[in-house]
Each structure stands twice: as structure tokens, then as C-alpha cells.
A and B are shown apart, each in its own frame.
Chain A
Amino acid sequence: MVYLVVLRRTKPLPYASILVPVISILLGVLLSSIILYLLASIPPLALFNLIVRSFTSPTVLKDTLILTLIGLSLVIAFKASIWNIGAEGQFHMGMLVATWIALFTPIASIPVLAKITCILAGAVAGALWAILAGVLRAYVGLDEVPVTLMLNYVAYYVLDVLVYGPWRGRFTYGYIRTDEIPENLWLTLIPGTTAHVEVLATVLIVGLAIWFMFKYTIVGLRLRILGSNPEFLRASGVNVKHMVVLALGLSGAIAGMVGALYLLGDTHRVSYPVEAQTAGYGYLGILVAWLSMLDVRGLPLAAYVVSSLRVTGITMQIAGLGGTAIVFLFMGSVLLTYTVAKVFSEYTIVIRR
């Protein structure tokens, strides 16, 4: 008699942190192409060509950088088992404050300072927006998942109201949108791409800082312990409520910063309705964070893959091969195969006689 026994691994699968994401992306793409072939008769080979081209497209770098930053934001929260689904709202609050500074304050005309102020103010706004959920979670006991999710819509609509009303520009040719921000605030393009030097710099600085925080600081360690046993954290003399607020605050700060950067680099103005204006980076970032296995070092690669798949989807949309759903199809398939691969990485199958 031969048995196939499914066992929990006593030691982790070697290279799991690389194998799991790679396998899940390959399988996810395969799954998507099967679905696309069956539903829309898109030949897999053509799709394959499209994907390969997307991976080398010069437009991928921009999204990769942005998504790496959002991924960083979410990794901080997720490592602490704080499920921040609100990066999208924090992003938009950052954008809101940056827009206000850029359009309506005198700071906007001071050369370097203006940019820095916008970015930092964006961080503060994102942090405060997330801290709102943090305080509700820590002091009132409200689950952060629905709260952060709902705050996304509040952020969208606050910004919408401003753009529709008081902030509507004078030179908008009938569009409902703000004026352009002054040109001295615009970010510097990296030649040959659509990405910006300042965003790259932010990725490097923030990425290193977060990596250092988790590896070498007591705060980083406490955040990780918060993720596994908050009672122990409390008994070791740490104010757990503060840590919850801090986790969300840091997470929101980075998301808010990205909102400001996106305004200065890409849109240069805010258009109504704001929720249609970006790619939903706050949500895409969730996929990026998981694909990195919550490892800061894996984030750029995860962001690169997700960005490339997104570009593929957009290209197909432009070519008239489908709607926005194509992007979701890719993302959904990868998330599905990722979840399955993650479970299997913790088990092994043994043949016994």
C-alpha cells in the first residue's frame, strides 16, 4: 500500500521567499491567459508577446517606484498585523494637502523648499488620516479593516467636493479640475522614462530607513511582536495602543507622501472625479506587499511585476481587447495563485509505503 502523506514542514521550504512569489506569478499569468483564451479567444502567444514587451516598456519604471513606496507603507502595517486597507485614502489626503500648498500658499514659489514642503505635508496628512483609524482601533476597539476602507471613500469625496467647488480652476476648458500647479514644483523626469528622480530618491531613502528600522531598532522589533503577541508586548512594558497608532501613522505617512509625489510628478493638477484619476495604487500596493512576502528587500521586484502586468492590461485595453477588468483579471489571478502557493509552501507531500 502506498500513501501520499501531506505533512506540515518542520523547517521552512528553502528559498520559499523567492519560489512562492515567482511560482504564483507564473501560474497566475498562465491562469489569466487560459481565461482570456476561452473567453475572448486571445491567442496565448500574442498575449505572451504583449507581456514580454510590457516588462521592458519604459513606462513600467514609474509605477514600479510608486508601488514600491506603497508596498513599504503596507509592509509596516502588515508586519504588525494591522490590516491597513486605506493606503488609497491616505494617498489622496496627501495629494489634497500638497495641492493646497501648491495652489494657494506663498510657499509654492520658493524653489527647492516648495517641493520638500509639499512632500512632507503630504506625509503628515496621510499619517493623520491613518491615525484616525489607529485611534479608533486602539482606544475604541473598532476593527481597522472596515474603518480604513471606508475612510478611502471619505477622502475621495472630500477631495471631489474641493475640486468641484472652491478649488475649481480658471483655465480648465470646461473640465472640472484645478489649475496646474506652478512649474517649479514639477518633478524631474529620469531621461527615457516616465519616472522621476525625486521619487527614486524617496524610494531609496524610505526603503533603507524602513529596512533599518525592522532590522536594527527596538521600535521595529516591537512592531513585529505586536504582529504576533500583543499581550506579551504589553507585559513587557510597552504601550500597545501607542504602537497600534504608530504602525498606522508610519504606514499612512508613506502613502500620503506618495500622493504628494504623484501630484507633483504626474498629474500636476487634480481632476474630478478623483477616484478615476489614478490606478488605485493603494489597492495594488496590497498585492505588492504580499508578493514581497512582507520583506522590504523583495518589494521592488514585486512592484515591478505588478506594474508590468498592469501595463499589459492597459495596452490590451487600448487595443480594444477588453475593459478595465483585464487588469483586475491579472491581479486577481496572481493573488489567488499566491495564496495557494503560500499554503503549499508550508506543507510537503511524502510518499510512504
Chain B
Amino acid sequence: MSAFLSNKVFSNISKFSREVKPLVSLRGITKKFPGVVALDNVSLDIYPGEILALLGENGAGKSTLVKILYGLYTPDKGEVIVYGEKTKILSPRHAVSKGIVLVPQTPHLIDSLSVLENLIIGLREYGVFARVDLIEDRVREIALSIGIELDPRKPVATLSYTQKQLVSIIRALLLKARVLLVDEATTLLPSREKEKFYTLFRRFTEGGGSVVLITHKVVEALRVADRIAVLKSGRLVGVIDRDRARVEDVRKLMFGKTVTNNLQVRLKRTEHIDGGKRVLEVMGLWVSRWFGDYVVRGVSLSVRRGEVVGIAGIAGNGQEELVQAIVGLVKPVRGSIRLLGVDVTGKGVELTRKLGLGYIPDIPMRYGVSIDNTIEENIAALLVRGKIIKWRRVNEFTSKLIREYDVKAPHPRVPVKVLSGGNLMKVLVSRELAIARSLLVAHNPTRALDEVSARLVRRMIREKAVGEGVGVLLVSEDLDEVLELSDRILVINSGRIVGVFDANRVERERIEELMVA
């Protein structure tokens, strides 16, 4: 199985595997941004052969830490020791020359070029010369070994998100990485694919490399990582061996004592849903991808006032296209969509928004926010209905959302791009929850959030349904989330609804069966 580990790319790793000295050490690192201390006197060792999980709530400083190692930021104070030598990491190029490579959450690839071309450019950029045919073989080998299909000659534009992330990681391997910094690069992956990447990471560490894995899923971290480091508000509050770590303890370190109790609060349900009016009615919907086949095949569903309808399924079974058709971003080929009784089929987002639709998209940076604009402006863009913007009102409203959702931001007038990923998501989710009047379409609303924030958002979604009678269509690949939130559960597989369940009488196993059938 680990045949590909024996080739040249990995051969220089093994000599580190028997050493107990850390590959990389941070000593007293401090980094300040206007208004926040992102890292406060952090010291941390990264050993060869380990997967080190870096945990922390949204905005704790995780990305800042790995960006320092990758030479994207320089610390205000403290030093970095690489292979026992005090080193100033000056740039990503410098980091790469030391074997430190960052895999970001969003792949930095050029869409119009092929996988191979992207990889070659990526290598040239760092002064590594490589032969095309060798790279091609390597790509096929790695993809094959973890079971993800990937044709190196295909243009990147045709790849799925999973495939693009794989290309990013392959790029890191080709750059002869010894320390792989994975900044939530697996967060947005469908859970099955995620496992494949974890297998790849494990093999990589077996070859003597180390992986710093940033995630906010505690359970997952405990399962995959050898050691767990927890950051809270820029401080390192604990480093625990996996064998000695318990989920509860880690949670406590991440969020503090009081919050963790709230995790068990039960959610209210709307009574007498059956009598309620239908907010959304989808009939025989067929949607095709760009030029290709149908990806949504005859879906019919309805959502009533105050009802949460959950759609469970493995990512890539037509969920994104179904959501986009309902919201009005793509035209369906056949079928009809009614919102509040009005035919909105293929009529665009203008109409659905006018009818009070809220939309939490799967890809926040694309459909959810404009990162160059301020938090306030991102809120105003959807909140303001008249022609004139009353900034004082917008500011008050924004400040309220920032407080309620505990968004880590110095003030409402900072551009959204300085926010950490989870905080950006909170801005978006809080806005859509606030403006939804008839239907809320939520696609993986909590995926980028830490557990406490995720819990808060789930409660808010519930309250929106119960308190204001808004219908909710929850599309999530997190089955626990679907089970917890929904009144009714539909299972989607290959673009078809293959099962309908009442949330009071669910059999989890049955749903799982249908998801993979």
C-alpha cells in the first residue's frame, strides 16, 4: 500500500524519524493585529512522525500561527527554531526551502490550466525543477493509493473541491514537505473523503514528516491526532497526548467551563406543523450541471411554516444544485418551484429574496460576503430595503449581531477579509437569520464553526422556525445536525429523494443505508 512512500519525494524524510528532537519549535511567539492579540507568548514543539491537531474556537489564532511558520506573517516577538537552528522565516518560498508547506482552505490553483500545469508552475515558483512525466506518474500514484479519482491532464476547472484539495496536498508533497500545515483544508470536505486524506496524512507521518492539522471538530481531532494543542484567545492553554485526552477536557480548554454545559440544551419544536401553510413547494425538479447530465432528478418536496426539513446525504449528490435552483441562482430544466404560492421557477434571486428568502450558502466567500467591504456594508447590502442607507441604524444592528453571535472583530467597520473563517461565517449566518421572513435555505450552516458557535447557530435556526414561523430547508452533510434540528428528514442520493422520515421515528441506520446505497 505504501509503495509511493518509497519514491524520491519521500526518501529524505525517513532520516528524521528516529530523532526525538522537534522538527520545528516556536518560542514565545507573539503577534498583534490592530485591536487584537492574535498570538500571546506561544511556545510549541512539532515532532517528526506526529499529527499534531491544533484546536481552538473561531478566531483563537490558529491560522495566524501556521501563517507565521509559512512566512506569511512575521512575529512581533519570539523565535522559530527549525531543525535545531534559530531561523527567521522570511517568505513562503523560504519556508518551502525548509520543508514547511501550508495547505490552505481554499485551493490556490489556476482554473484554466491542467492539474499538471498547475503543479509545474507551483514547483517552478519555488525553484524546484521536475520532469513532467515523473510528476504525472506521481500524481496518478498518490491519487490511486488513497482512492480519489484524478486525471492529471484535466483542466482544474472541471475538478471537484475534493480533487482540488488533493492537488494542493500533492503539490506540498512534491515540494518535499517535512512539515505539512493543514489549515482547515479538510473542513469543507465530505466526511468520507476526509477519511481518505487522514489516511494520507498518517502515511506521510509514518515516513517521518509531521502534520499540523487545524480543525474545530474535537472528536475528529482525538481520533486522528497524536497530540492536541489548544489555543484560546491567542494563548496556548494546553498540549495533551491523545491517550490522555478526553473530549470533555479538551472542550473545556477550548471554550472555558461554563459554556460546555449549554451544549446539551434541548431544542424546542413547532407544534401543529401539519396545519401550517406550505412555504415552499418543489415539484418534479430536474437540474443539470453546465452542459452535462442531470444532477437533480425529479425532486419533489415541501416545507411548511415553522417546519425544519432536513436533507441528509453524502456531499455531491445534487444538494448544491438543488439549493441553487430553489434560491434562484440556476435555472432548472424541468419542474416547478413555488415560494409562498408564487411561481419562482427560474426567475432569479431578485424574486425569491423579495419574497423573504434567507440563504446560507455552502461557499461563503463566493455567494455570502464581499470580503473587501466592511462587516457593516455586508450587512447593509441585504438589510436595507429603501434607497437610502441609514448608517446609524445599520451600525447598531451590526453591533448587536456581533455581540449576540460573539463575532471576534474590533468594530463593525473592519473589512470582512481580516476576520477568521469562522467569524466571517458568523457574520453571514447572523445576517441571513435576521432577514429571512418566509424560508431559510441553509446549506452546511455550521461547518466552519466551532462547537459552541455551531450550537448557537442551531438554536437560532430553531428559534427562527418556532418563534417566527419561518420554514427552514436544512441541507447538511452532518447527519447529527440533520437529526438534531429537523422535523422531517429527506434522504438524497444521486439526485433523487430516496427516503422520507418523521424526526420522531427515525432509524439512523436506515438513513445511513439510504445515503450510501
A residues whose Cβ falls under 8 Å from a Cβ of B: 3, 5, 7, 10-11, 216-219, 221-222, 224-225, 227-229, 231-239, 350, 352
* B residues near A229, Cβ cutoff 8 Å: 366, 369-372
Residue in B329, B371, B377, B391 whose beta carbon sits within 8 Å of that of A234 in the complex: B329
Chain B 326-357, CB within 8 Å of chain A: the 1/0 string? 01010000000000000000001110111000
In the bound complex, do residue A217 and residue B388 qualify as a contact, i.e. CB atoms below 8 Å apart?
Answer: yes
Given A5-B74, A218-B384, A218-B386, also A232-B368 (CB < 8 A): yes
Q: Are A239 and B350 in contact (CB under 8 A)?
A: yes
Known: A229-B369, A235-B368. A221 touches B389 (CB 8 A): yes
Q: Is B290 an interface residue (CB 8 A)?
A: no
- Chain A residues with CB below 8 A from B275, complex form: none
Find chain B residues with CB under 8 A from A235 CB.
327, 329, 349, 359, 361, 367-368
Cβ-defined partner of B33 (8 Å) among A10, A216, A219: A10
Instruction: Check: B515 CB closer than 8 A to any chain A CB.
Output: no
Q: How far is the CB of B409 from chain A (nearest CB, A)?
A: 14
Contact A236 B372 (CB under 8 A): no
Contact B381 A236 (CB under 8 A): yes
Report the separation of the CA atoms of residues A234 and B348 in the bound assembly, to the nearest whole angstrom: 9
Tell me whether A228 and B370 are in contact in the complex, defined as CB-CB below 8 angstroms, given that A216-B389, A221-B381, A236-B382 are known contacts.
yes
A222 and B73 CA atoms in complex are apart in Å by 33
Q: Return chain B residues, CB-CB under 8 Å to A236.
A: 349, 353, 381-382
Return 28 A-B CB contacts under 8 Å, by A number.
A3-B88, A3-B90, A5-B74, A5-B88, A7-B74, A10-B33, A216-B389, A217-B388, A217-B389, A218-B387, A218-B388, A221-B380, A225-B370, A225-B373, A227-B372, A228-B373, A231-B366, A232-B367, A233-B370, A235-B367, A235-B368, A236-B381, A237-B354, A237-B382, A238-B349, A239-B348, A352-B74, A352-B88
- What's the Cα separation between A231 and B329 when bound, in Å? 10
Tell me how far the C-beta of A288 lies from the nearest C-beta in chain B, rounded to whole angstroms.
23
Contact partners of B370 in chain A: CB under 8 A: 225, 228-229, 232-233
From A3, A219, A239, A350, contact of B387 by CB (8 A):
A219
> What is the CB-to-nearest-CB distance from A180 to chain B, in angstroms, rounded to a whole number?
43
B329–chain A nearest beta-carbon distance, Å: 6
Inter-subunit contact A231/B367 (CB<8 Å): yes
Q: Is the CB of B372 within 8 A of A228?
A: yes
Interface contact B377-A237, CB-CB below 8 Å: no
Report if A237-B352 is in contact (Cβ < 8 Å); known contacts: A225-B370, A225-B381, A228-B370. Answer: yes
A10 to B353, CA, bound (A): 36
- Cβ of A5: which chain B residues have Cβ within 8 Å of it? 74, 88, 90
For the complex, give the distance between the alpha carbons of A5 and B88 in Å.
10
Q: Which 7 A-B pairs have the closest CB atoms?
A: A237-B353, A235-B367, A228-B372, A229-B370, A237-B349, A228-B370, A225-B370
Q: Are B349 and A234 in contact (CB under 8 A)?
A: yes
Select A218's contact among B329, B361, B389, beta carbons within 8 Å: B389
Known: A216-B389, A218-B380, A352-B74. 6 other contacts (CB 8 A): A218-B384, A218-B387, A228-B370, A232-B368, A234-B349, A238-B349
Contacts of A222 on B, CB cut-off 8 Å? Answer: 381
Query: What's the nearest-Cβ distance from chain A to residue B474, in Å?
Result: 18
Bound Cα distance from A7 to B90, whole angstroms = 9
Q: How many A-B residue pairs have CB under 8 A?
A: 86
Write the residues of chain B forming the contact surface with A, with a CB cutoff of 8 angstroms.
Answer: 33-34, 73-74, 88, 90, 327, 329, 348-350, 352-354, 359, 361, 366-373, 377, 380-382, 384, 386-389, 391
Return chain A residues, CB-CB under 8 Å to B353: 236-237
Measured between beta carbons, the chain A residues less than 8 angstroms from B327 are 235
Nearest-CB distance from B125 to chain A (Å)?
17
- List of A residues within 8 angstroms of B367 by Cβ: 231-232, 234-235
Q: How far is the CB of B219 from chain A (nearest CB, A)?
A: 32
Can you name the residue of chain A whose Cβ is closest to the Cβ of B366?
A231
- What residues of A have a CB within 8 angstroms of the CB of B348 in the complex? 239
Least CB distance, B277 to chain A, in whole angstroms: 23
Q: Which residues on A sit within 8 Å (CB–CB) of B33?
A: 10-11
Q: Which residue of B lies closest to A352 (CB)?
A: B88
CA of A234 to CA of B349 in the docked complex: distance in angstroms?
Answer: 7
B279 vs chain A, min Cβ distance (A): 17
- In the bound assembly, the distance between CA atoms of A3 and B94 in angstroms comes to 13
Give every chain A residue within 8 A of B371 (Cβ-Cβ).
228-229
Given that A10-B34, A216-B388 are known contacts, is A225 also in contact with B377, CB under 8 Å in the complex? yes
Closest to A224 in B: B373
Check A232/B350 contact, CB under 8 A, given A5-B74, A216-B389, A217-B387.
no
Q: What is the bound-complex CA distance between A217 and B385, given in angstroms?
A: 11
Residues of A contacting B368 in the complex (Cβ-Cβ under 8 angstroms): 232, 235
How far apart are the CA atoms of A324 and B329 in the complex, in Å?
Answer: 52
Complex alpha-carbon distance, A3 and B370, angstroms: 36
CB pair A232 B369 closer than 8 Å: yes
What residues of B have a CB within 8 angstroms of the CB of A217 in the complex? 387-389
| Bound complex: CA A217 to CA B382 (Å) | 13
Q: Return the chain A residue nearest B33 by Cβ.
A: A10
Q: What CA separation (Å) do A229 and B384 show in the bound complex? A: 18
Residue of A nearest to B377 (CB): A221
Q: Which residue of B lies closest to A212 (CB)?
A: B388
Q: List the A side residues contacting B389 at CB < 8 Å.
A: 216-218, 221
| Complex alpha-carbon distance, A233 and B352, angstroms | 14
Q: Quick one: which of A218, A224, A227 has the most chain B CB within 10 A?
A: A218
B residues near A10, Cβ cutoff 8 Å: 33-34, 73
- Give the CA-CA distance A218 to B388 in the complex, in Å: 6
Q: Is A232 a contact of B349 with CB atoms below 8 Å?
A: no
**Roughly how many angstroms separate A3 CA and B361 CA in the complex, as a whole number?**
44
Q: Which residues of B contact A238 (CB under 8 A)?
A: 349-350
Interface centre among A3, A227, A228, A234 (most CB of B within 10 A): A228
Given the complex of chains A and B, what is the CA–CA distance between A228 and B369 in angstroms? Answer: 10
Residue of A nearest to B380 (CB): A221
Taken together as a complex, chains A and B put the C-alpha atoms of A234 and B381 apart, in Å, by 11
Q: State in angstroms the CA–CA spacing of A219 and B388 once bound together.
A: 9
Complex CA gap A222/B373 in Å reads: 11
Nearest neighbor of A232 in chain B, beta-carbon distance: B370
| Contact in complex: B34, A11 (CB < 8 Å) | yes
List, in ascending order, chain A residues with CB within 8 A of B387's CB: 217-219
**Chain B, Cβ-Cβ closest to A235:** B367
The complex places the Cα of A10 from the Cα of B418 at a distance, in Å, of 9
B391 with A237: CB separation less than 8 A: no
Q: How far is the CB of A276 from chain B (nearest CB, A)?
A: 41
Give chain A nearest CB distance to B340 CB in angstroms: 15
Q: Which residues of chain A are near B369, meaning CB under 8 Å?
A: 229, 232
Find the A residue at minimum CB distance from B31.
A10
Task: Give the CA-CA distance A205 to B88 in the complex, in Å.
Answer: 55
> Which B residues lie within 8 Å of A221 (CB)?
373, 377, 380-381, 384, 389
B389 CB, min distance to chain A CBs, angstroms: 6
Q: How far is the CB of B24 from chain A (nearest CB, A)?
A: 19
Which chain B residues lie closer than 8 Å to A237 at the CB level? Answer: 349-350, 352-354, 382
Report chain A residues within 8 Å CB of B380: 218, 221
Q: Which residues of chain B are within 8 angstroms of A231 by Cβ–Cβ distance?
A: 366-367
- In the assembled complex, which residues on chain B have CB atoms less than 8 Å from the CB atom of A228? 370-373
CB proximity of A233 to chain B, nearest CB, Å: 8
Closest to A219 in B: B387
> Which of A228, A233, A237 has the largest number of chain B CB atoms within 10 A?
A237
Chain B nearest CB, measured from A134 CB (Å): 19
Q: How far is the CB of A146 from chain B (nearest CB, A)?
A: 20
Q: Collect the chain B residues with CB atoms within 8 Å of residue A7's CB.
A: 73-74
* Residues in chain A near residue B381, CB distance under 8 A: 218, 221-222, 225, 232-233, 236
